Structure 1
Amino acid sequence: MSVPEVLARIREVEAAAGRPAGSVRLVAVTKGHTLEEIEQKVLPHGAFPLAENRGQELRDKSAAWPEAEWHFIGPLQRNKIKYLRGVSLVHSIEEVWQAEALAEAAQKWGHAPALLLQRHNGEARKHGFLPQELPLALRAIQATGLEVRGLMTMAPYDDEARAEAVFLETARQAHDLGLSELSMGMSDDYPLAIAAGATLVRVGRNLFT
C-alpha cells in the first residue's frame, strides 16, 4: 500500500462507522526507514504526525524535520527522556515515574509533551497499566501538571475477535475517565480500531510497501 491508499481506507472506514470525516488521524510510523524513504514515500502526502519508538532515531529524524509534529510511541526508559524534547505527544506512558521525569525535563525545555496512558491488553508480554490501575494512575499523572489526552493500546495479534474486544473496552474506559484521544490500531488492524472509536492510528509498514 501507500500513504494515499491508507488515507483513503481510513476515510472509507470512518464513513462506514458513521463517524465524521477527519475524526481519525494517521500517525506515520517511520521506524527503521531512512530519511530518503520518508522524504519520498511519506512527506509529499500531507501534514500528519510522524512517530518513532527509538530515542536515537527520533533524535536524528526530528532534527531533519523539526517543523513536523513528532510523536513517541515506544517504551520509555529514563535515558530516553532527553530525546523527547521536540515531541508533542507520548503514546506509551505505563508508569507514573515516566510522567514525573518528563515533567521535570519539561521545566528545563520550557514546554511539555501531552501524554497517552498505555492500557494493558491482557497479553503476558505486553506493557501498560491494568484497567483497574488506570483511574489512580491518571490522577497521579495529572498531578504532575502534564496534560493527559487519552489512552493507547495494542491489540493481540492474529485474533480479530479479541482485538475488537480490546479496542471497545479501551474506548469505553477512556470515555468513563473523561479522556477523548484514543491511539489504537496498526497496519494489520486499524480498520477494527477505527470502528471502535480510535482517533489516532499508528501505521508504518503499509506506508512503505
Structure 2
Amino acid sequence: MGFEALPERLAQVRAELARRAPQQITIVAVTKGFGTDAIRAALDAGLADIGENRVQEAVQKQEELGARSQELGIRWHLIGHLQRNKARVVPGRFEMVQSVDSLDLAKELDKRAAGLRVLLQVNVARESQKSGCAPEEARTLARDIAALGNLRLEGLMTLAPFTDDVEVQRRTFRGLRLLRDTIKEEEGVWLPTLSMGMSSDYASAVQEGATVIRLGTALFGPRAGETP
C-alpha cells in the first residue's frame, strides 16, 4: 500500500485545524493495521508521534524497525486498552500511555517505568463497549495517580460515540474539558493535555479544546477491509 496522498491529507488536516483551533495541536498518527511503511511515511511528512492500539503490534513494528526506531526519533503512544499483565512490556517502548483507566494499572506502570507520561482515559459517554473510568471516578483517580512517584500524569483522554451527530460529539468532548477543569479546581491537579478526536470527529474535538488528536484513516486512507 502506498501513502503518496499523505502529505496532501495532512495539509488538509492542518488547514482545518488552523480554521477551528487557536490552541497548539499535536497530531498522533495512528498506524494500527498498517505496516512500518506507514510509519516511515508519517516521519517523512514531519509526524513523529505514532499511535498503536495493541502492545503486540507495536512491539512487532519496533522490532522490525530495530535500532532505527530510536534513530528516527519516533515518540510511541499506546492508545488502546492495556491489561495489567502487559504493563511489564511498556518500559522503554512507549513515550506515553494514553489509556490508563484504573489505579491498579497505574500502580503497575509506576513500579516499572520511571518518568512515563500517562493520560487517564475517561468513558465520558458511558458506553459499555469502551474502556475508561466513569466520569465520577476521574477526580479521585487523577488525584491518586498524580501522587504516584514515577508516573507523569499529564491529562485526560476519551473517545466519543461513533456518530455523525456533531452535537453528540461536542457534548462528549466538552464533558472531558469540564471534567479537567473540575479536577483542577477541586483537587489542585492541573492536566494540560486533552487527547480527544479521531479521523471522523477531530473537528468537533478541537473546537472543544483538544490538544492531541489521534488520526488514522484521515492520514493514511482506509485500512484493508474498510470502506473508502
Q: Which residue of 1 aligns with 2:172?
A: 166
Report the CA distance between 1:18 and its aligned residue: 5.1
Q: Which residue of 2 aligns with 1:54?
A: 54
Q: CA RMSD in A?
A: 1.8
3-state DSSP of counterpart to 2:95: strand
**Any unmatched runs of 5+ in structure 2?**
184-189, 222-228
Would the aligned equivalents of 1:69 and 1:88 in 2 still touch at CA under 8 Å? yes
CA distance in structure 2 between the partners assigned to 1:139 and 1:75 by the alignment: 21
Would the aligned equivalents of 2:21 and 2:206 in 1 still touch at CA under 8 Å? no
TM-score by length of 2: 0.82
Q: Which residue of 1 aligns with 2:111?
A: 104
CA distance in structure 2 between the partners assigned to 1:36 and 1:99 by the alignment: 32
* Farther-moved stretch of structure 1 (52-61 vs 185-194): 52-61
3-state DSSP of counterpart to 1:42: helix
Would the aligned equivalents of 2:77 and 2:98 in 1 still touch at CA under 8 Å? yes
Q: Which residue of 2 aligns with 1:156?
A: 161
Q: Which residue of 1 aligns with 2:122?
A: 119
Give the residue type in structure 1 aligned to 2:46.
G
Note the alpha carbon deviations across 1:108-154, whole angstroms, 9 max, x for none. Answer: xxx33111001112222222111111111111112222211110000
Would the aligned equivalents of 2:197 and 2:204 in 1 still touch at CA under 8 Å? yes
CA distance in structure 2 between the partners assigned to 1:15 and 1:34 by the alignment: 30
Report the CA distance between 1:198 and its aligned residue: 0.6
Give the residue type in structure 1 aligned to 2:156.
L
**Any unmatched runs of 5+ in structure 1?**
none
- 1:74 maps to which of 66, 76, 80: 80
3-state DSSP of counterpart to 2:177: helix
Would the aligned equivalents of 1:182 and 1:198 in 2 still touch at CA under 8 Å? yes
Q: Which residue of 2 aligns with 1:88?
A: 95
* Farther-moved stretch of structure 1 (29-38 vs 7-16): 7-16
Count the aligned residue pairs.
202
CA distance in structure 2 between the partners assigned to 1:37 and 1:173 by the alignment: 35
Would the aligned equivalents of 2:20 and 2:203 in 1 still touch at CA under 8 Å? no
CA distance in structure 1 between the partners assigned to 2:21 and 2:37 by the alignment: 37
